[in-house]
Structure formats: C-alpha cells, structure tokens
Amino acid sequence: MNQIIKDKPAKSIKTKKLYGVGVGTGDPELITLKALKTLQNVDVIAIPRSNPYSPSVAWRIVEPVLELKPEQIKLYLDFPMSKDPERVIPAWEKAINKLNEAFTEYDSIAFITEGDPLFYSTYIYLHKIAKEIWKDIDIEVIPAVSSITAVASVSKIPIADGQEKVAILPASYGLETLPEILRLFDTILLMKVSSVMPQIVEILEKENLLQNAFYVSRATMEYEKIVYNLKEIQNDKCDYFSMVVIKKNENNGILFNKNI
C-alpha cells in the first residue's frame, strides 16, 4: 500500500513593509489611534529633521505619547530646508541608503511626518520611488490631521461651505498667479508665507480683499498665533509653519441664503 505523504506547509515569508505615518500638526492628542499603534509596533521609526543640530518637529509631536520598546530603532534622516537641487538631491540619496540598510536588517519602517503624509510632506518623494527601490515591500499610508483642517479648527472659520471653491497655493513659490486665483475661488489658502507677507498684503489691497484675510501660525502647536489684520505683521519675519486664509463668503450654502 502506498503511503500518503502530506507535504509540509511552506514557511510563511514575512513581507517587509514601509509606512508613511502622518502625526498631525502639533498637538499630540490629535495623533490617530492607527498611527500610534503602528509606531508602537514597527522595527524602525525614520525621523526627518532639517539638520543634525535641529530637533525633528515630527518626533517632537510623537514623543510625549509614544513609549518606545528597547528593541525599536530611531533612524534620523537629514533634509535641508532648501529649494536647491544640489543640496536636496544628495540628502535624499543619503537618506535612501540609510533606509536601504535598515531594510536589510529589519522588516518594518515607519517614516513619520508632520501633518498628512500626502499633503506637502517630506514623505511624498519616498512614496513615489519606494516601489522602484524596494520592489517586494508593501506600502501603507496612514493619514492625519493636516494644516488645512488645523487652521480651520483653531480659527473656527469653515474652509468651504455650499458651492464654495477652494484653492491651495504654496506662497513661497511665486505669487504671480494670485490675483487670478483670488477672482476664481471663494477660499484661498496660502501656505508657508514666511518670506512673502509684504507681497501678499500688496496684492490683497489691490484686490480689495485685505479685510477678508487672516494669518495663522503653528496651528495646534505651542505658540499658536492668529492675526486678523495682516498689516500688523507685513514686515515681520513670519513663522515657517504659517498660512494666510482669504475667505470671500460669496457662495455659502442654502441655509445662509438671506432670501430664504
């Protein structure tokens, strides 16, 4: 009688995984449960910072609520605050090499970023090229409170209602299209306005919209600031984590229609 030999079950192959984890805009209590659970269980936490001598904003948000296990690794990655490719590209090459080395030894890496991972974040470049670099890894993105919703929350002014159209612009990359944008959209969000506040004030005055604008810096962070008269700060060196919101209130929803 032929003996039936059952095949031994194949050993499961543990898949390596990269997480893009948004940690919110500053208040540690705004970190999602999923983000916190992920960070508690990954092997490596990749922490972006502007240079070796500057603390990481993302890590500062996480640290009060995350209790690291002894075996977990913190991997610092330095990204200069620059638009110069000759500075940025070498920094990313060095970061990718560090992440590659980490993946040879560990199975899971979480790249943390302030705000949301897919909204003007440092993580986006890694997300785009990860599949090319590590073809066999899984990628998961964990969304978070973004600067847009944080600013709306602390100012208590809705971003959009009814038929309002919203435009989001990185102010530091040029304001030549702002006058046209102001005419086409109902709510305009100008991000990272630190170096261009005088130009913004000038344009808003010409468009008769200065009274419709306000400034928020460090929303939900320590030293949060809201200014409703932009002329008070037009010559100041404004914060990197800052935004100007222009709210026209021309297309509110039906419940705000005065003809009802």
Residue-wise pLDDT tens digits, 103-126: 999 999 999 999 999 999 999 999
pLDDT number for residue 2: 46
Residue 235: pLDDT over 90 = no
Report the distance separating Cα 11 and Cα 246, nearest Å.
58
- The interaxial angle of helices 123-133 and 85-105, nearest 10 deg, is 50
Q: What is the mean pLDDT of the chain?
A: 90
Question: What is the DSSP pairing of strand 242-247 with strand 187-191?
Answer: antiparallel
Of 121, 145, 169, the residue that ends a domain is 145
Report the distance separating Cα 255 and Cα 260, nearest Å.
8
pLDDT number for residue 147: 95
193: which residues sit within 8 A by CB, 6+ positions away?
171, 172, 200, 215, 238, 242, 243, 244
Instruction: Residue 166: give the domain boundaries.
Output: 148-254
Answer yes or no: do 195 and 246 share one domain. Answer: yes
Mean pLDDT to the nearest integer, 124-134: 92
Query: Half-sphere exposure (CA, 13 Å, Cβ side) for 95?
Result: 26
Answer yes or no: do 133 and 60 share one domain. Answer: yes
Q: Is residue 9 part of a domain?
A: no
Residue 52: pLDDT over 70 = yes
pLDDT number for residue 9: 45
Q: Is residue 259 part of a domain?
A: no
Tens of pLDDT, residues 85-96: 889 999 999 999
Q: Is residue 82 part of a domain?
A: yes
Tens of pLDDT, residues 160-216: 988 899 999 999 887 999 999 999 999 999 998 988 999 999 999 999 999 999 999
What are the E-state strand segments in the chain? 17-22, 44-49, 73-78, 108-113, 138-142, 166-170, 187-191, 213-217, 225-227, 242-247
Pair of tokens at residue 237: 């060196």
Answer yes or no: do 113 and 96 share one domain. Answer: yes
Q: Tell me, what CATH number does 39's domain have?
A: 3.40.1010.10
Residue 258: pLDDT over 60 = no
Answer yes or no: do 202 and 214 share one domain. Answer: yes
Q: Is residue 76 part of a domain?
A: yes
Answer yes or no: do 126 and 175 share one domain. Answer: no
Of 145, 160, 178, the residue that ends a domain is 145
pLDDT number for residue 8: 46
pLDDT number for residue 253: 65
Answer yes or no: do 118 and 154 share one domain. Answer: no
Answer yes or no: do 21 and 85 share one domain. Answer: yes
Report the distance separating Cα 34 and Cα 41, nearest Å.
11
SS3 category, 203: helix
Q: Which of 24-28, 75-79, 235-239, 256-260 has the lowest mean pLDDT?
A: 256-260
**Helix residue ranges, H only, 63-170:** 85-105, 123-133, 147-155
Total structural domains within the chain? 2
Contact 80, 93 (CB under 8 A): no
pLDDT number for residue 237: 83
Measured at the CA of 48, the angle between CA 142 and CA 167, to 5 degrees, comes to 60
Of 145, 168, 198, the residue that ends a domain is 145
pLDDT number for residue 254: 59
Report the distance separating Cα 241 and Cα 224, nearest Å.
10
Q: In which band, very low, low, confident or very high, does the pLDDT at 21 lie, cut at 50, 70 and 90? A: very high
Contact 174, 195 (CB under 8 A): no
Answer yes or no: do 132 and 214 share one domain. Answer: no
Nearest residue to 214 (alpha-carbon basis) of 155, 172, 170: 155
Residue 82: pLDDT over 90 = no
Q: In which band, very low, low, confident or very high, does the pLDDT at 250 lie, cut at 50, 70 and 90? A: confident
Contact 140, 109 (CB under 8 A): no
Residue 240: pLDDT over 90 = no
Answer yes or no: do 109 and 203 share one domain. Answer: no
